[in-house]
Structure 1
Amino acid sequence: MVLATSADQGIPRPTIPWRRHLRKRIAPTVTPALLVRRFELALTFCHGSIHWLDTDGQTASFPGKASKVRTVSPMAISPARKHLRLSAQVFETIREEIVSGQLSSNVQISEAELSERLGVSRTPVREALIKLAEDGLVQIVPQVGTFVAPISVESVKEAQFIREQLECALIVEAAQRIDQPTVRRLRDNLIEQDHAARDNDWERFYVLDESFHSLLAGVAGHPTVWRVIQQSKVHMDRVRHVSFRMPDHMTQLIAQHNAIVDAVADGNGANAQEALRHHLREIFGTLEKLGLANAREATAVPRPRESRG
């Protein structure tokens, strides 16, 4: 090592001949093609979006060559979940996409891609996927990958049983406690359901359907029980989201909702319970129409390949 004197400060400073050594190691790897690629990436980020090179996207031209790129929209975490732990926010977001069918059965999901889309590290994503696997919504197959689990008919039937027992008990108390302002709110909800059905707005109908049953639970004086029902009926909800797309199915559900409201408004707990039980057992007919009534699960995810000796 050679000591040199700084002209401006007059203090010794070490001079190491590292530039020559580093140039020998790095210079051969900095090719014209690499410089072009770095320029392309700089242009991409300047446009405010991140692109993944792919073969099924749209063609984008850059100086020197043309590449096919795909822009992946970020998966939004709802502001309503910001009070939750990060892993819980990720869990609820992925869960919602699976239940709504945005992530279809048997689709392989990438921990890295989810991390990129959500703008979080892999740790909360990994924690969320483990919890989703415990709930039967994803399947983690060793040496293969992580997949959205197919619809489990047994889980749907168990969820229906829990919901029927709890909600049919609630409806009797709701019929005893109902008042006219609440009846009007229920009727208004049914009008909105009809509008959503006419517009084929499945997402809006689902929200109104949930609000309808939540309102009945609230009238009964047991809103916490509805939260328990919500947690237990996730596998039912996957089928419900599919069923809303069936012809005239939403119209049929609205008619059943009207029968429930009529009985509750009359204070007739027995009739309300019968109407609700008929409504909640509609899921069995839906399973038959979807060809799942006698199946254990919709389809199977890939299994690990057997090693050959």
Structure 2
Amino acid sequence: MNRLQDKVAIVTGTGPLIGGAIAAGLAAEGARVVCTGLDEDAVKPCVTAIEEAGGEAFSALGDVTDPVHVEEVVRRAVDRWGSVDILVNSAVWFRKQGLLTMSVEDYRRQLDVILGGAFLFTREVAQHLISTGRGGSIINVLSTAAWQGEPGNIGYSTGKSGLINFTRSAAMELARHGIRVNGFTPTATLPDDSERARELTKSMAAPSDYPMDFPGQFPMGRLPTPQDYVPAVVFLASDESSMITGSNITVDGGATAKYWPWLPGSGRERTAQP
């Protein structure tokens, strides 16, 4: 299928997990993709994977909190392909610390990457789209931590929750220009690579001041992989969602819908008999 044929997308924070999978998924539907990030070792493989699959992509290394970098990314995309139609704000600086342990410098840095980066890229892409009279789609990657109170992860939870109303406010401001702004909510995610998935599962079980049982509390029995997210993001990027803005699509296997005391897989559930 080519639901995004000839469209141009920018995906911030591309790497081996969610951002990279989204970039590859957009390319598989015909989009030309700019992959951005700070780490060349994370970004370059995303570009290579897209090109090896027959798509078009290039990398743009830099800091999403730097306005000069943001302007350059959009300019390079326009110079090479003539436009920008899709923006996915996925960049994050992940520093899992709590209110009592996180330095104010780290807190500010995390919020600046999540919220400041989304602000700068959304503004720059919106200005381009308005100047050309083109509509477009902007997608902000949220998290289940944006909707629930997670202890020991204060900066990430605050930043992601801030994106909820950033999405709504930007959507209302840009609606008259035909620019849609929506959120996409993933959750704890297992890498597609089996070795990395084993390492992550092991780290989830490590001792912590705030123990988390991600697999045991998950309603659908398994955590999602990045590939589980691609269809929802492609839909939001495509013209199929032309009347959806200021909204959110959640792909979390029921995690945020679960009533908090219920223990999935506890053995107490009963299957109705015919």
Q: Which has the higher helix share?
A: 1
- In the superposition, the TM-score normalised over structure 1's length comes to 0.23
User: Over alpha carbons, which structure has the higher Rg?
Assistant: 1
